[in-house]
Structure 1
Amino acid sequence: MATIRIEWRIRQFSIFPKIIVAFLMIIVPIYVLSLVMNISGEASVREEISMSMKSRVHFYLNSFESEMTRLIKLNREYSFDEDLRNLSTIAPGMNEFDRVKAILSLQNKLLLMKNSSLYVADVKVYIPLLERTIHANYYGDELPLEELHALEDFSDSHKYPFIFWHTRLLISELYPKPITPNKMPIFASEVELSENEIKQSLLQASHTSQGGAVLLDSSQNWFIANDQDMKMVPKLKEFMMRKPFQEELMGQGYIEMERKNYLITYERSHLLNTIFMVYVPESQILGPLNKYRNWF
């Protein structure tokens, strides 16, 4: 009788390891499969986020570049404007009526250009022969000599369109080219871009509550950023100085700021000599995925 009880207890005891083994044989493959699917899903999500960020950056830069190209072209076309040519070459020989008529006609064209783009803050043409500057909205004084020299120096030494002078971002055109040393140009046209509108477009381009966007000169001489993005600018400049990113047209990488990792996406514009950069906290774009991964 005692022997039967011992055998029954042995059988009862040995069934638990069998249950555990059977349980593990069922659970482990499911766990491994789920883990593999999670890793694969994370890679897929990362790739989708990467492509989405690159697409967003490219769309913004392409739109901005197209608009700047249009403004540059319009500004250059003033070289062929009849009213401007007459005012800049034969103004003293024109009667009062014809001169005023030409000034008002030119001013109307400048106003049309200004109103054609939100990015334009002002458009003006300096005519040395008149010793006056014609703005889109008013008839102004002579252009400061310091500003004219800055336009001349830039025109001689740069092939890119933007001039950053006294916190103002300008597109200029001088006629004739090349500039003759120690001689005033016949006229100088200048488009001042609206920094506020560019900042507003950067807010829309970043499209995240914790991220941001910055427009950076490729030579790092100037940048445009909203107030909340200012602390990131030194890090972004440092990021672009890294060897892999110095020559690539488009790329992505990570930086750390205040114990947070940020995904950086950028694209260069060789035409404008600028870099458009968007940064997003990694936790914001991968937060739900990271929580799910922690379950495993």
Structure 2
Amino acid sequence: MKLIRTLGSLPILPKIALTFLVVLTPLFFVGLRMNESGAGIVREEISKSLSSRVELYMDILDSDFERAITMLREYMNDEDLMKLSTTSEIMPDIERTESVLRLKKRLDLLKRSSSFIDNAMAFIPMMDRTVASNANAITEFDDEMFRDLSQPADPLNSPFTFWNNRVYICVPYGFVNNSPLFLLAVEISNAEISSKLKQFTPDDSLAVLVSNTMAWSTFASARKPSKDELAALSPMEEDTLEEEPSKMIVLDGVKYLIASERSDSYNTKLIMMVPSDLVEKPLERYRYWMFAMYAASVLIIIAFSFGMYRLIHRPLKVLVRSFRKIEQGQFELSIDYPFKDEFGYLYRRLNATVKELKRLIHEVYEQQYRARLAELRHLQSQINPHFLYNTFFILYRMARQEGNENIEKVTKHLGEYFQFITRDGAEEVSLDSEVAHAKSYTEIQSIRFSNRIEIKFAELPQQAEQILVPRLILQPIIENAFVHSLEKRAKGGQLEVDFHIEDSELHIRVEDSGGIEEEQVARLKALLNDSDVTTTTGMINVHRRLQIKYGGSAGLQLSRGTLGGLKIVLVIPLKETSSHA
């Protein structure tokens, strides 16, 4: 706790620097650990790659050797070779020459079958000649070479025969008096094998193809192998690779990665030895860069912390002083900041907030005054309508006493009309009250237009009388019919209002005979469904209020009626959904 309090009391600059170091140090060690893990993975992958390379090249060699031996065995039954080995003395010269040429072509084909074959030869003692694939088709018979190469090879040891520092694969045929009738042999090209090995071998590395007796070895290296390297690679020594495909050994203080592949078919082994520096140096360089990056990061953190102190601490001081003045009720302040960064935004917002606070304080006092004035005017507005519709009722009683029936009806309906639209209360009324108000309006219009307009107003179904609806949804629709259609007719005007219940919905139909075209109906529908229209009276007002309250299919439906005018159907669900209750 004491340490925490001590660290918490440090200035901002040391806190920032320590925070970054605390965050960076674990990341550095994690990165170092990842580097070591990655180095191990790279070593393993390189080792696998080296083993795969050695295995691939060994497979190539085995395939080529197998193909050469197979072709040699197939040539054992060559008709020309058999004739030359048994009946060449009695063959005509032309026939013998043709047989030799055909044999030469087959030997040429055998040589071209593998890049590792340097020469293909057929030793024919009866002819005392050797047919070869090299430039000289027929050469003098070499008794010593024929005798040495005719010795049967040990199939459990190696199919190769070594003679005069050269490697051969030999197949003798038909021993008579311990001497074969003929001998087929191919010479393996050490130079070609070494050349191919160099293509598979990295720089400063060593590759060697050896037999079990070490009588034959082919090196591929840019340098001459040392005695220790030869001893390590010698198959006559104890197997240094044990059962592992690759491993690390140390020779003369230098680490080497060794991979090998053995050919059980031909008792040969391909060994590749790569200095570990080729693998370790890039990884070691990367590790040095990690330490250098950490040291550079520490220096950058110190410089960054100092810059953060200058960029953040100073502007914060100004903000703190300004807030203290605001706490003391000093709203006459304005702070300046020359830049348009985050602190510039905060300074500008603080200045705007102080101005807004001053305005709101002023508005609070003004609003209190206006609220009292509005309350007084509201009381006055309640008195005036009451006086108005009470006066209509007085006129109604006076007209009744005088016996003037029309004045009596008009004053009665006007009183009910203004009583409905001016009374206080909820924004919703029962549907029978809304219909009664609409009827009062139509009665007044009926007296006004006398015999010019015929009005049919159906009775409201009893089950729909007490449902609550927004005020003034039916009368504005009827008024729209009078103002825009029926007032223009000199006679024969018709207005019908009826009610139908369909699928738990109440449909109120208002239809007139004022005449309207389909294009006008389509235009009114588009206007009704346009959410950008800001009109708040008439049809749009009623449609929007019904949709807001009930949602779904509620609202107005417009069409051209059978009377020739506009037909408006108000759709009101009898059961409100929970989302629009």
TM-score in same-fold range (> 0.5): yes
Alpha-carbon offset, residue 23 of structure 1: 5.8
Query: What CA distance in whole angstroms lies between the structure 2 residues aligned with 1:290 and 1:131?
Result: 66
Write the mapping of 1:93-104 to structure 2, written as runs, cut at 5 A: 93-104=90-101
Question: Is contact 2:206–2:221 with CA below 8 Å preserved after alignment?
Answer: no
Distance 1:293 1:140 in 2: 65
What per-residue deviation string (whole Å, max 9, x for no partner) do you get for residues 28-49 of structure 1? 4223312221121111111211
Summarize deviations over 1:41-69 as a string: whole Å, max 9, x none. 11111121111111111111111111111
Secondary structure of 1:29's partner? helix
Counterpart of 2:229 in structure 1 is 235
The equivalent residue for 2:199 is 204
Paired AA for residue 44 in structure 2: E
Contact 1:253 1:263 in 2 (8 A): yes
Which of the pair has more CA radius of gyration?
Answer: 2
- Tell me, in whole angstroms, the C-alpha distance in 2 between the residues paired with 1:44 and 1:275: 27
Shift of residue 245, structure 1, vs aligned partner: 2.8
Question: Aligned AA for 1:277?
Answer: I
- Please give the alpha-carbon distance, in whole angstroms, between the structure 2 residues aligned to 1:12 and 1:264: 55
Aligned pair in 2 of structure 1 residues 234, 84: CA closer, same or farther (>3 Å)?
Answer: farther
Query: Which residue does 1:216 correspond to in 2?
Result: 210
For the structure 1 residues 259 and 77, does the alpha-carbon distance in structure 2 shift closer, same or farther, using more than 3 Å as the test? same
Q: Which residue of 2 aligns with 1:117?
A: 114
TM-score by length of 2: 0.44
SS of alignment partner, residue 192 of structure 1: strand
1:174–1:189 CA contact under 8 A, matched in 2: yes
Alignment partner, residue 365 of structure 2: none
Q: CA deviation at 1:272?
A: 1.8
In the TM superposition, residue 227 of structure 1 has moved relative to its aligned partner by 6.2
1:65/1:234 CA distance change after superposition, 3 Å: farther
**1 CA distance for matches of 2:193 and 2:47?**
24
Cross-structure match for 2:566: none
Which of the numbers 266, 270, 289 marks the counterpart of 2:264?
A: 270
Matches within 5 A, 1:155-170: 155=153, 160-170=158-168
What do residues 69-109 of structure 1 show as CA deviations (whole Å, max 9, x unaligned)? 11111112121101001111121222222211111111111
Structure 1, unmatched stretches of 5+, are 1-9
Q: Deviations over 1:215-265 (max 9, x none)?
A: 11133222011463532475254255344636x4x6212233454322111
Corresponding residue number in structure 1 for 2:27: 30
Contact 1:75–1:189, Cα closer than 8 Å, also in 2: yes
Runs of at least 5 residues in structure 2 that lack an aligned partner in the other structure = 292-581
Alignment match, 1:5:
none
- Equivalent residue for 2:70, pick from 68, 73, 76: 73
State the identity as a percent.
31
Residue 149 (structure 1) aligns with: 147
CA contact (8 A) 1:128 1:186 kept: yes
> Would you say the 8 A contact 1:235–1:255 is kept in 2?
no
Show the counterpart of 1:245. Answer: 241
Assess, with a 3 A threshold, how the Cα gap between structure 1 residues 216 and 229 changes in structure 2: closer, same or farther.
Answer: farther
Deviations 1:250-285 (A, max 9, x none): 621223345432211110111121111122221112
Residue aligning to 2:427: none
Give the 3-state SS of the residue equivalent to 1:15 in structure 2.
coil
The one-letter code sitting in structure 1 at the alignment partner of 2:241 is F
Cα contact 2:150–2:170 (8 A) shared by 1: no
Point out 4+ residue stretches in structure 1 off by more than 6 angstroms.
Answer: 10-14
Distance of 1:104 and 1:276 partners within structure 2: 38
Aligned length: 279
Q: Is the 8 A contact 2:198 2:221 kept in 1?
A: no
- SS of alignment partner, residue 246 of structure 2: strand
| Matched position secondary structure for 1:219 | coil
CA 1:154–1:184 in 2, change beyond 3 Å: closer, same or farther? closer
Q: Does 1:284 align with 2:278?
A: yes
